Amino acid sequence: MDIEDTLLMIPGPVKVAPRVLRSMSKPMISHRSGEFGAIYSDCIGLLKQFFETQNDVVIMTGSGTVGMDAAVGSIIGRKDTIVTISNGKFGERFTEIGERYGKVLPVKFEWGTPFDLEKVEAALEQGAKAVAMVHNETSVGLTNPAKEVGKLAQKHDAIFIVDGISSIGGNEFLTDDWNIDIAITGSQKALAVPPGLAIVSVSQKAEERFEAKSASYYADLKAHLKSARKSPVQTPYTPAVPLFFALQEALHMASEEGFASRRARTARQAEAVRSAARALDIELFPQVNEHSHYSNTVTAMKMPAGVTDDKLRGGMKKQGVVVSGGQEQLKGKIFRIGTMGACSSGDILRTIQTLELVLAKEGQLRSRGAGVEAASRVLGV
């Protein structure tokens, strides 16, 4: 299958609009020029709306993980403790990062199960400079309770770090209302830009509690904030300039659609996928409760009985639709469909139709068209 005809329905990188792709083919400009500064500050203005924040925002060259690294490394020193909450792969990444910089109090839950907020509070009671969590745990398709943990962080005077990488712009994400001191996203998710930029918002409180000298040189938020306050606005080191072009274009696209409308569309599209799954007797993977919800940006489903990962995802790929498998211990057990950014109703319907086709081939489809029918109903098409 030609790559041009391939539909990427993974939870990032996501499909990039032609208009955004074209923006990257402009001639290079100096990253110390007024033109670059104007692009950077235009992006910051729009990103503040995207993040629902008045805090400062910096754009770093590197994938989302560099933003997580920068957040933890700028706050945590050798003698400091960070509480890290995990119920999937990316929460565990915060634990691994924390161990590089200081002491970690991990609060671990089984992958795909909700946080027990009492356990989180018990950890915070032991005394910590910061608490870090993932809002939308991409590995399991679960949206975690950032608002509730934010209240606990405030009560225990801990800096609140939230990975919003697969969330911001897709799920509701209220940086200021939820008391988030450092929020992170990556360009390749709901922003629908190619991979390579991490975007980080930083509160004044976080800045006041920065480590005097972060153990990371490149990912030191102090340096990034200092350059972003220069005129013209700059980055401390040479940025991926074409990705800034793309980010600016993509932010304008999102703002034309309306940030709230985009979130509502994403929610509808995820509901369409969940609805199709139910119609096809495919079980959703994560466990949800009053605080933890099915993700609107990635739907994780159990592998249907009688079908292997190879048959399901391999079969779909042969038809030009790429979906994700499970990570680590969930390999072969689940599969995941992303609904972020510039995803269309047609993309969702093609994905569900292809899924049905593969299930039929494996003799595991009870009623042909039921998934597409259910999804169309939600999408209103």
Helix and strand counts by DSSP (H, E) for the chain: 13, 15
Answer for which of 73, 145, 170, 186 binds ligand PLP (CB under 6 A) is 186
Judged by CB under 6 A, does residue 138 bind ligand PLP? yes
Judged by CB under 6 A, does residue 63 bind ligand PLP? yes
The CB density around residue 45, as the number of other CB atoms within 10 Å, is: 12
Judged by CB under 6 A, does residue 165 bind ligand PLP? yes
Q: List C-alpha distances in Å: 123 to 83, 86, 227, 269.
A: 7, 13, 36, 37
Judged by CB under 6 A, does residue 244 bind ligand PLP? no
Cα of first residue to Cα of last residue in the chain, in angstroms, is 27
Task: Look up residue 96 and give its two tokens.
Answer: 């691994």
Residue number with CB closer to ligand PLP (187 or 275): 187
Task: Look up residue 329 and give its two tokens.
Answer: 């211990």
Residue number with CB closer to ligand PLP (139 or 364): 139
Residue number with CB closer to ligand PLP (136 or 296): 136
Judged by CB under 6 A, does residue 69 bind ligand PLP? no
Task: Look up residue 12 and give its two tokens.
Answer: 């990032």
Answer for which of 81, 144, 166, 269 binds ligand PLP (CB under 6 A) is 166
Judged by CB under 6 A, does residue 168 bind ligand PLP? no
Backbone phi, psi, residue 143, to 5°: -100, 120
Q: How far is the CB of 180 from ligand PLP (least distance, A)?
A: 15
Answer for which of 9, 59, 134, 153 binds ligand PLP (CB under 6 A) is 134
| 378/157 Cα distance (integer angstroms) | 43
- The number of residues that bind ligand PLP (CB under 6 A) is 12
Positive or negative, the CA dihedral 188, 191, 56, 89 is negative
β-pairing verdict for 130-134 and 81-86: parallel
β-pairing verdict for 7-8 and 321-322: parallel
Residue number with CB closer to ligand PLP (15 or 209): 15
Q: How far is the CB of 190 from ligand PLP (least distance, A)?
A: 11
Q: How far is the CB of 166 from ligand PLP (least distance, A)?
A: 4
Residue number with CB closer to ligand PLP (144 or 319): 144
Q: How far is the CB of 52 from ligand PLP (least distance, A)?
A: 18
Q: How far is the CB of 327 from ligand PLP (least distance, A)?
A: 9
Contacts of 345 (CB under 8 A, 6+ apart): 269, 272, 379, 381
Q: What angle do CA 129, 146, 270 make, to 5 degrees?
A: 150
Q: How far is the CB of 137 from ligand PLP (least distance, A)?
A: 6
120: burial class by Cβ within 10 Å (0-12, 13-18, 19+)? Answer: buried
Judged by CB under 6 A, does residue 90 bind ligand PLP? yes
Which residues bind to ligand PLP, rule: CB under 6 A?
Answer: 12, 63-65, 90, 134, 136, 138, 163, 165-166, 186
